[in-house]
Amino acid sequence: MPSDAVGGIRLTRVTFGYSSGADPVVDDLSVSVNPGESLALVGESGSGKSTLLYLMGLFLRPTSGELTVFGTNPWNYGDRYRSSLRSSRVGFVFQDACLDERRSILDNVLEPTLYRSTRSPSAADDAAKLLRDLGVTSPMTRRPTQLSGGQMQRVALARALAGEPVVVLADEPTGNLDLRTRQLVVDALFGHVKTGAILVIATHDLELAALSTQQVRIS
């Protein structure tokens, strides 16, 4: 059960540009998402969906406006505060998975639990179950390089969920998936929201977006 996330994630008139001369990628956007809710970011390729997820994941800092996570502006604190918030409460699923190729898929999924002071004795079994629930049936000792793109993506999702994060930020989580595995991913994501978590997805999948509490179209 994710711990308390009162205040959710809130963006107030947030603007962000990668360089000061160019037009901002995110322009004066206000949106909020509360615990037990999901938000879908939709828009054409290049519209800024991933950028918005990186802002919510605290990898990028708004150029102007305010972003708060659980009622606090994380940019008012140091790097250590933000990395601790990220590692303890946020599960980020990058579009290109970003798995550690030197480790087995099981160890990749266990990664978020490694730095916890208390690690459940059942962590490895739980990780294996997450992978099975997501339809990853390859031997757990395999390396990510031996998997397909769709399998890597599901390993990355299992890794994000293994830390029982109160916030899940997922970039195109159903890209490259067939209908059956897509449904497994949908069930895992929205099942997690039912436990009180916050889910934000960047997606081209309009059916997936329609399942979310809220949709924001960016252009």
Site of interaction with Mg ion (CB under 5 A) = 49-50
Locus of tokens 């998975």 = 97
Least distance (Å) from Mg ion to the CB of residue 172?
Answer: 6
CB nearer Mg ion, residue 35 or residue 173: 173
167 beta partners: 90, 198
Interface with ligand ADP includes 29 (CB under 6 A)? Answer: no
Amino acid at 55: L
Terminal C-alpha separation, the chain: 35
Considering only 11, 25, 58, 169, the residue that binds ligand ADP (CB under 6 A) is 25
Least distance (Å) from ligand ADP to the CB of residue 51?
Answer: 3
CB nearer ligand ADP, residue 97 or residue 105: 97
Interface with ligand ADP includes 219 (CB under 6 A)? Answer: no
CB nearer ligand ADP, residue 50 or residue 104: 50
Interface with ligand ADP includes 43 (CB under 6 A)? Answer: yes
Task: Judge contact between 119 and 85, C-beta under 8 A.
Answer: no
Least distance (Å) from ligand ADP to the CB of residue 46?
Answer: 4
Interface with ligand ADP includes 174 (CB under 6 A)? Answer: no
CB nearer ligand ADP, residue 23 or residue 137: 23
Interface with ligand ADP includes 163 (CB under 6 A)? Answer: no
C-alpha pair distances (Å), 164 with each of 96, 110, 126, 156, 202: 21, 11, 11, 14, 20
Q: Nearest-CA neighbor of 166 among 81, 92, 61?
A: 92
**Quick one: what does residue 110 bind among ligand ADP, Mg ion, none, with the CB cut-off 5 to 8 Å set by partner type?**
none
CB nearer ligand ADP, residue 45 or residue 117: 45
Each residue 57-96 as x (binds ligand ADP by CB under 6 A) or -, in order, gives ----------------------------------------
Q: Is 68 helix (H, G, I), strand (E, B) or coil?
A: strand
68 beta partners: 10
Task: Judge contact between 36 and 194, C-beta under 8 A.
Answer: yes
CB under 8 Å to 108, separation ≥6 — which residues? Answer: 99, 100, 144, 155, 156, 159
In 28-39, which positions are buried (b, 16+ CB within 10 angstroms) versus exposed (e)?
A: ebebebbbbbbb
Contact residues: ligand ADP, CB under 6 A: 18, 25, 43, 45-51, 202
